[in-house]
Structure 1
Amino acid sequence: MSSGTVIVNNSRETYTTSHSGAIATCILEVVRVAGEGAPTVISRKGPGSPITGYPLVYVPSKSGPHGRIREQIRRARRRVDGWARPDQREYAHDVRAALRALDARQIIVNNDPEVAVALAHAFPSAHVVHWFHNLELAGDRFRRRFAASNIRSVAVSRYLARAVEAAYGLTPLSVSHVLNGASFGEAVPLPTGDLTTIGFVGRVAVEKGVDVLLAACLELAESRRDFRVQLVGDTNWGRSDGGPYSRLIDAQTEELKHAGIEVVRLGHLPRKSVPGAIAATDIHVVPSRWDEPFGLTTLEGLALGRAVVVSATGGSPELVMDAGVLFPREDPSALARVLSALLDDPQRRADLASRARERANELSWQQTWETLRGGP
């Protein structure tokens, strides 16, 4: 039975089991808790195995001209029509066509304000919701149209809700917020052994700050050898881009190894393997230098009952609360001090692990789904 709700994935995202990002994960989780009458998802497919068992419509993946010509065309079209990218406009066109075949009374759009505006115009009788996972900034024309529309906005944290209101000129406190839910099941016992494992899960990208973590570990290595480091992730779904940042991480890794610290790099893992990787660690570090609206990897560490250490950016403080330890962004020395204290205090790590699980239990995808649908 159809719920009458359709969820439109982000135009830059795909919807597969192995090669899709955080937004696809959030969509899948709310679809799972919806039960009978789960919403239909509209998305690009992309590489990787399709998600089965739930209503799904794939629209074509298109690519335009590349390189310099592509950039010139993009800029020209943006000046004319305001769309961020030509493929975004094409995606909206394909989504409109797919929606005409569905009984869509509610349309939930993810991180695409322009698409939300277009769909609200095309389907005036439908209730359009925009789910902000990040502060997605549209051009002036679309921001004005967004603010003047009846689109209801939901953000993944209070921090992001207030930022959206300011950026789009919306009425203060008009954007709802709901934290994402925890979905990794039961907590996993902490590993046993002589070495404490410090872990990271995320893209090897400047904004994720893995270099901050490695710099902190290099400081620790000046005076102690009682820890190891585990890194999960790469720059692009199973491969490194070989760019300057990747080379920096490679150099820091080799420096740690030269100092006698074991470093395990697991690269990209399918989502089903992530819990096991986090379970192999004692301390879960999220050293982001950008304003994380809601870090799924932070929630994953909480849900698996790990001592969580997070940079105090964006929505992270309201997510972690007193269930983890915050440190100032871009401050490897501060992070090193936090890690050193935790290495010296197994009981503190155990206490944080217990509180982490309690915090994760306070968050549910059911609550997320009800807020998106317009419930309490």
Structure 2
Amino acid sequence: MMGKTSRIMTVLPPKEGFSPGCVGAIGLLVQCLAQPQDLIVGKALDCLPFVGLHYLEISKSWHSLFIQSNAYRYGVSRLVQKYQPRLVEIHNRPEIALYIAQKYPYIPVSLTLHNDPLSMRGLKKDIDRQKIIEKLHVVAVSEWVKDRFLSGQVKGGVTILPNYIDFEKLPQYIPISERKKNILFVGRVVADKGADIFVALCCKLLQVDPSWNIEIIGADRFNSNSPETPFIQKLRHQLRQTQIKMVGYLPYDQVLQKISEASIIIMPSRWPEPFGMTALEAMACGTPLLVSAVGALPKVVGNGALLMDPTNIEQAFQQLIRLVKNQDLREQLSLYAKEQAYHYNAEQALQALNSFRKQICPQLQGNL
């Protein structure tokens, strides 16, 4: 086991949860590969963090300042100073990564980007991205994110470390012929994710075939106390006269169980998905997918899904009808999806991550 001075410190975004009942995609990814000796830094939690991991909270008294000021990065800095890790890995916060890299130049710092760099504060301009790539090690979760970061006049190397899933934690596979007639939306219930497009498609479907059960799983945020936003209120009003159910936020294990039981998952994102974890989770469960042809999604799903245009409801509906009416197609997609998902298994991801760590921090040789 690595000693205290050779630890790896992973810094979560300020809003990210890290407990079984309150966690987003980044928290789940970090938890999946984290080792007991690692240091995980994040916000003060309202419930216990994941068992068996060393979680360090930024003082709760600083919470009101997180978004409006630099308080969170100062809290991170104090923990870096206290623990003196061999390597600091920061997720999705370029301003924090740059600050730590400049303040502690003797500690390697990596920045893992899960979103479109051109939409992130501190990365929108070429000059800002060039400064980042010269000061620290940049990681992208997909080729699409890498290309966005290096667009314009930016020069330098970006390492791709894709997202991943632990196959050992998945529910038992259910053959397509034995699945419930369920169609699901899974994710944040916001306009960018196309929850309203999902409703429009399923309302059209129910007019043709009312035998399907339709559910929206998720909320505005990744916790059970998520606010009832105007967007969600509008959806609820639309659904009053339909059989489409809004389930709300569910713990991750329950989400995976529902995905594994479903016949179809629809992912109608307007937002160019930087990766698309819901797609990977569905593919790993062998659940047929209909996804938007935006961002990184087409490359992530490969032959494991049908593609749709989120701006063309009629085209998207015809793709949905293909899935609904053709069980052979669903069975074929299920097989392709599982094969595609295996390219993103957690075991290979950990090997790639540790190889990258040793490359940027030779002191870790023999410790990983």
TM-score, normalised with respect to structure 1: 0.84
For structure 2, the 5+ residue unaligned runs are 360-368
* Structure 2 residue 138 is the aligned partner of structure 1 residue 153: yes
The one-letter code matched in structure 1 to 2:229 is G
> Residue 155 of structure 2: which of 163, 171, 179 is its match?
171
The alpha-carbon deviation at position 19 of structure 1 amounts to 1.3
The alpha-carbon deviation at position 141 of structure 1 amounts to 11
Q: What per-residue deviation string (whole Å, max 9, x for no partner) do you get for residues 320-366 of structure 1?
A: 01111111123322221111111111111011111111111121224
The one-letter code matched in structure 2 to 1:160 is V
Corresponding residue of 1:63: 63
8 Å contact from structure 2 (residues 12, 27) kept in 1: yes
Determine the C-alpha separation between the residues in 1 that align with 2:186 and 2:234: 17
The one-letter code matched in structure 2 to 1:44 is K
Determine the C-alpha separation between the residues in 2 that align with 1:225 and 1:275: 25
Corresponding residue of 2:247: 266
Determine the C-alpha separation between the residues in 1 that align with 2:133 and 2:342: 38
Determine the C-alpha separation between the residues in 1 that align with 2:286 and 2:12: 30
Q: 1:156 to 1:141 in 2, by over 3 A?
A: closer
> Residue 319 of structure 1: which of 300, 321, 336 is its match?
300
Identity %: 23
The alpha-carbon deviation at position 125 of structure 1 amounts to 1.1
Determine the C-alpha separation between the residues in 2 that align with 1:142 and 1:115: 17
The alpha-carbon deviation at position 192 of structure 1 amounts to 5.9
Determine the C-alpha separation between the residues in 1 that align with 2:229 and 2:215: 21
Determine the C-alpha separation between the residues in 1 that align with 2:7 and 2:49: 22
8 Å contact from structure 1 (residues 105, 125) kept in 2: no
Q: CA RMSD in A?
A: 2.5
The one-letter code matched in structure 1 to 2:63 is S
The alpha-carbon deviation at position 126 of structure 1 amounts to 1.1
* Structure 2 residue 234 is the aligned partner of structure 1 residue 248: yes
8 Å contact from structure 2 (residues 21, 251) kept in 1: yes
Determine the C-alpha separation between the residues in 1 that align with 2:179 and 2:151: 50
Q: What per-residue deviation string (whole Å, max 9, x for no partner) do you get for residues 220-255 of structure 1?
A: 233222322122112242256343311331133224
Determine the C-alpha separation between the residues in 2 that align with 1:194 and 1:127: 48
Secondary structure in 2 aligned to 1:18?
coil
8 Å contact from structure 2 (residues 22, 224) kept in 1: no
8 Å contact from structure 1 (residues 114, 142) kept in 2: no
The one-letter code matched in structure 2 to 1:15 is F
The alpha-carbon deviation at position 27 of structure 1 amounts to 0.8
> Residue 200 of structure 2: which of 196, 200, 215 is its match?
215
Task: Report how many aligned residue pairs link the two structures.
Answer: 346
Determine the C-alpha separation between the residues in 2 that align with 1:254 and 1:193: 30
For structure 1, the 5+ residue unaligned runs are 66-83
Q: 1:271 to 1:39 in 2, by over 3 A?
A: same
The alpha-carbon deviation at position 130 of structure 1 amounts to 0.4
Corresponding residue of 2:220: 235
TM-score, normalised with respect to structure 2: 0.86
Corresponding residue of 1:72: none
Corresponding residue of 2:45: 46
Corresponding residue of 2:12: 9
Determine the C-alpha separation between the residues in 1 that align with 2:310 and 2:15: 28
8 Å contact from structure 2 (residues 259, 285) kept in 1: yes
Q: 1:273 to 1:223 in 2, by over 3 A?
A: closer
The one-letter code matched in structure 1 to 2:31 is L
The alpha-carbon deviation at position 303 of structure 1 amounts to 0.9
Bigger drift between 186-195 and 365-374 goes to 186-195
